[in-house]
Chains A and B, each alone.
Chain A
Amino acid sequence: MADKIFRVNMTDLTTSVEEVPADWAGHGGRGLTSTIVAAEVPPTCHPLGPNNKLVFAPGLLSGTAAANSGRLSCGAKSPLTGTIKEANAGGTSAQLLAKAGCKALIIEGQPKDDNWYSLHITPGNITLNKEEEVVGKGNFDVVETLTERLGKPMGIITIGPAGEMKMAAANVSVKDPDGKIRSCGRGGLGAVMGSKRVKFISVDSMDGKVEIADPDKFREANKTFAKALVDHPVSQALGTYGTNVLVNIINESGGLPTRNFSSGQFEGHEEISGETMHDLIKERGGRVKHNCHKGCVIQCSQVFNDAKKKYKTSGFEYESIWALGADCAVDNLDHIAEADHLLDDIGIDSIETAVAIGVAMEAGVLEFGDGEGLVRILREEVAKGTPLGRIIGAGAATVGRAYGVTRVPVVKNQAIPAYDPRAIKGIGITYATSTQGADHTMGYTIATNVLGVGGSVDPLSKEGQVELSRNLQIATAAIDSTGMCLFIAFAALDDTTCLPALIDLINARFGISLTGDDVVSLGKYILKTEHDFNTAAGFTKEDDRLPEFFSLEPVAPHNVVWDFEGEEIDTFWDF
């Protein structure tokens, strides 16, 4: 299938399939969603109003046999941060969209009535239908009901109750190969989908295939690329312990935010660690290794069963476990798994929501450590949209404001994830300067600050952190355009065959001749495009700052504060 742009106008309920404009042809994934949002969305628009647009784009290599290439990017102006936003997830839809010839799907406008709609994509075609049956349902029920209705396995992109209620932390949820959920989690893109009144998108690629310009070269490059991934020791650890292997090392380094960022170590770390989880999974007949899409050779995901050996959750990630665990001082992995399952079903960001609950704990809404209370709040308040549930669903900053809390870990209103910026300073630069609010994945300095991958930069010193974060943010923006899962970066940082093979894959797919320098330029272009959008939306360098409490309150065990001056942070943009 030749690539096309699929467009839906929800105001007049029309659809079209358009040629790809020349400027967009070289883009995919995040590069494409950000290019389209920057070109077509007025930066000052209300994120939930008719002028915002929700854009989906598979990566440049999605739908091909390239290892780990099945990530789906989703972009818009974020209702949580007010900045441009891209969030990506695995699941089956990126590959199916690419095979159906959908380079990007743009959902614009807003219906004037209260009806809900669904979209159905097949090769070269998109239809819009009224939807009633699955409205109000949780994600697992949506996937099950639709799988039965559609009669064959298809890609499903959906919102849960959080998205329907337009909560600022709502996910866009993507069905995985087992009918479970992966999430475009950060920044409330599910609320944008809800504001368009689109409950779900189904994708049937039928016999569609992605065209490869040079199949032989592609096959060769993929062999080298997959080998670099499989051989890297980090990949092997990810397959065994999942990302949750990080709990113990981040705790040991003193950077594990605990009790709403009041300490850097959690006494219950061992109970919630990757090692404990691995043993529990084995004991309960779950699956240690699992992939979020076909073609992943790293398999960091897993299937976690409850004490009765019944499925409880999958894709049980470090950041979710940290947020529900250490940040809320909950040391019971079963409570955390129950909460993770509920978050998937409600369709709401596990980081934002759990950090919001941590702030609520600080305010005395419930006690730190109360895992059962946390689960109850998700089930009884957030899922049902009670006033408390809506305050939590609006994110950590909103909870802080509602309850008068000063220790509110957010940048541009987005919750800071699992690494304390006082004790791991590089990641603080990423939180401050990211075009999308606090987000570790934008420039994962943890690799070099803590894990010793891609060199080493002392986490407690200011030296070298701005440059480290800048280089990683540029590289990440480019990788996010390929459809690759970010965990290829560990091999890319250490193994000299990995990145050239990735570039060869792109060249063989499109019949072009990109160089390493072109890839760096692409990354820079994406960051600048996003930054320009934010500037036009009213953001200034004063927004590139961490909350005040980080410079006032030393964090144990190193008893360090955040000590970067504004001018030092601003040098980030000198490129």
Chain B
Amino acid sequence: MKITVKLFAFFRQDRFKEEERRYPDTTTVTDVIQGLGIAVDEVGVTMINSRHCALDSSLKAGDVLAIFPVIGGG
């Protein structure tokens, strides 16, 4: 299935900003993170289609997955 993956802040270094990628049907958020060589404990927030999601959430075709490191501001 096709998933759009968006990366932010330093996760973009040597990777990409946004890419449409192919994954097997039973892929979870953690699978995508690990597949990109990102350490799971560096991940702060993940969202599927603009809604916060757990790391073990399953993805479905057409989802937009956004992966952020731990960030803050205000």
| Complex Cα spacing A26 to B15, Å | 52
Bound CA–CA A249/B7 (angstroms): 10
Q: Is A240 a contact partner of B6 (Cβ separation < 8 A)? A: no
Q: Give the number of A-B contacts (CB < 8 Å).
A: 88
- Return the contact of A451 from the options B17, B44, B51 (Cβ within 8 A): B44
A520 lies within 8 A of chain B by Cβ: no
A486 within 8 Å of B (CB atoms): yes
Q: Are B8 and A243 in contact (CB under 8 A)?
A: no
Q: Please, what's the 1-or-0 string for B30-74, where 1 marks a CB less than 8 Å from any CB in chain A?
A: 000000000000101101001110000000000000101111111
Say yes or no for A234: interface residue by CB 8 A criterion: yes
Complex interface: chain B residues within 8 A of A446 (CB): 74
Decide: B50 and A558 in contact? CB cutoff 8 A: yes
For residue B54, give the distance in angstroms from its CB to the closest CB of chain A.
10
Bitwise, A245-276 to B at CB < 8 A (1) or not (0) is 11011001110000000000000001000110
- Smallest Cβ distance from A264 to chain B, in angstroms? 9
B9: Cβ under 8 A from any A Cβ: yes
User: Are B45 and A242 in contact, CB atoms less than 8 angstroms apart?
Assistant: no
- From B10, B52, B74, name the one whose CB has the most chain A CB atoms within 10 angstroms: B74
Cα(A239)–Cα(B74), bound, Å: 13
Q: Which residues of B contact A557 (CB under 8 A)?
A: 50
Return chain A residues, CB-CB under 8 Å to B47: 252-253
Beyond A240-B9, A558-B50, is A441–B74 a contact (Cβ under 8 Å)? yes
**Does A458 contact B52, Cβ atoms closer than 8 Å?**
yes
Task: Output the least CB separation between B20 and chain A (Å).
Answer: 17
Q: Please provide the chain A residues from 408 to 463 with a CB less than 8 Å away from any CB of chain B in the complex.
A: 440-441, 444, 446-447, 450-453, 456, 458-460
* A459 proximity list for chain B (CB < 8 A): 52
Give the distance to chain B from A230, nearest Cβ to Cβ, in Å. Answer: 14
Q: Are B74 and A444 in contact (CB under 8 A)?
A: yes
CB-contact partner of A237 in B12, B52, B71, under 8 A:
B71
Closest-CB distance, B58 to chain A (whole angstroms): 19
A245 partner residues in chain B, CB cutoff 8 A? 8-9, 71-73
- B74 and A440 within 8 A (CB): yes
Q: Are A252 and B73 in contact (CB under 8 A)?
A: no
| Contacting pair B12 A249 (CB below 8 A) | no
Taken together as a complex, chains A and B put the C-alpha atoms of A487 and B67 apart, in Å, by 23
Indicate whether A195 reaches chain B with its CB closer than 8 angstroms. no
Asked whether A140 is an interface residue with its Cβ less than 8 Å from the other chain, the reply is: no
Q: CB < 8 Å: which of B12, B42, B50, B73 contacts A275? A: B12
Question: What are the residues of chain A within 8 A of B17 when measuring CB–CB?
Answer: 270
Residues of chain B at interface, number, CB under 8 A? 21
Q: Say whether, besides A249-B68, A254-B50, A487 and B9 are in contact (CB < 8 Å).
A: no
The residues of A that contact B74 with a CB separation of less than 8 Å are: 243, 246, 318, 440-441, 444, 446-447, 486-487
Check if A243 sits within 8 Å of B52, measured CB to CB. no
Q: Which residues of A contact B6 (CB under 8 A)?
A: 252
Chain B residues, Cβ within 8 Å of A451: 44-45, 70-72
CB atoms of A252 and B9 under 8 A apart: no
A388 to nearest B CB, angstroms? 31
Q: How far is it, in angstroms, between the C-alpha of A254 and the C-alpha of B69 when the chains are bound?
A: 18
Does B9 lie within 8 Å of A246, measured CB to CB?
no
Enumerate A196-237 residues with CB–CB distance to B below 8 Å. Answer: 233-234, 237
Residues from chain B with a CB closer than 8 A to the CB of A105 are none
User: Within 8 Å CB of B44, what residues of A?
Assistant: 233, 451-453
* Count of chain A residues with a beta carbon within 8 Å of a chain B beta carbon: 39
Instruction: Say how far B36's CB is from chain A's closest CB, in angstroms.
Output: 17
| Chain B binding surface, main DSSP class | mixed
Identify the interface centre among A242, A246, A248, A254: most chain B CB within 10 Å of its CB: A248
Complex interface: chain A residues within 8 A of B42 (CB): 233
Are the CB atoms of B50 and A300 closer together than 8 Å? no
Partner of A249, one of B10, B51, B71: B71
Give the Cβ gap from A524 to chain B, nearest Cβ, in Å. Answer: 22
Q: In the complex, A230 Cα to B17 Cα: how many Å?
A: 27
Q: Do the beta carbons of B52 and A453 come within 8 Å of each other?
A: no
CB atoms of B10 and A242 under 8 A apart: no
Kindly state the separation between the CA atoms of A206 and B50 in the bound complex, as whole angstroms: 54
**Which residues on the A side are within 8 Å of B50 (C-beta)?**
252-254, 557-558
A490 in contact (CB, < 8 A): yes
Q: Which residue of B lies closest to A319 (CB)?
A: B74
Contact partner, B45, options A238, A270, A450, A487, Cβ 8 Å: A450
Task: Tell me, yes or no, whether A302 is within 8 Å of chain B by CB.
Answer: no
Q: Is A368 an interface residue (CB 8 A)?
A: no
Query: What residues on A are CB-neighbors of B66 within 8 Å?
Result: 249, 252
Contact yes or no, A274 B9, CB < 8 A: yes
A301 vs chain B, min Cβ distance (A): 12
Are B45 and A241 touching (Cβ within 8 A)? Answer: no
Q: Say whether A243 contacts B73, CB under 8 Å.
A: yes
A237 touches B9 (CB 8 A): yes
Assembly CA distance A501 to B40 (angstroms): 29
Interface string of A31-65 (1 = CB under 8 A from B): 00000000000000000000000000000000000
Determine the distance from Cα of A460 to Cα of B66 in the docked complex, in whole angstroms. Answer: 18
- Report if A69 contacts B (CB, 8 A): no
- Cα–Cα distance between A240 and B6 once the two chains are bound (Å): 19
Tell me whether A173 is interfacial, beta carbon within 8 Å. no
A244 contacts the other chain (Cβ, under 8 Å)? yes
- 13 further A-B pairs in the complex, CB-CB below 8 A; given A243-B74, A451-B45: A233-B70, A237-B70, A245-B73, A246-B72, A246-B74, A248-B8, A249-B45, A252-B66, A270-B17, A446-B74, A451-B71, A452-B45, A460-B51
Q: List 21 A-B contacts (CB under 8 A).
A: A233-B44, A234-B72, A237-B72, A240-B9, A241-B9, A248-B8, A249-B45, A249-B66, A252-B6, A253-B47, A318-B73, A318-B74, A444-B74, A447-B72, A451-B44, A453-B70, A456-B52, A486-B74, A487-B72, A487-B73, A558-B50
> Would you list the 9 A-B pairs with minimal beta carbon distance, nearest first?
A243-B73, A234-B72, A233-B70, A237-B71, A246-B73, A490-B72, A252-B66, A254-B50, A245-B71
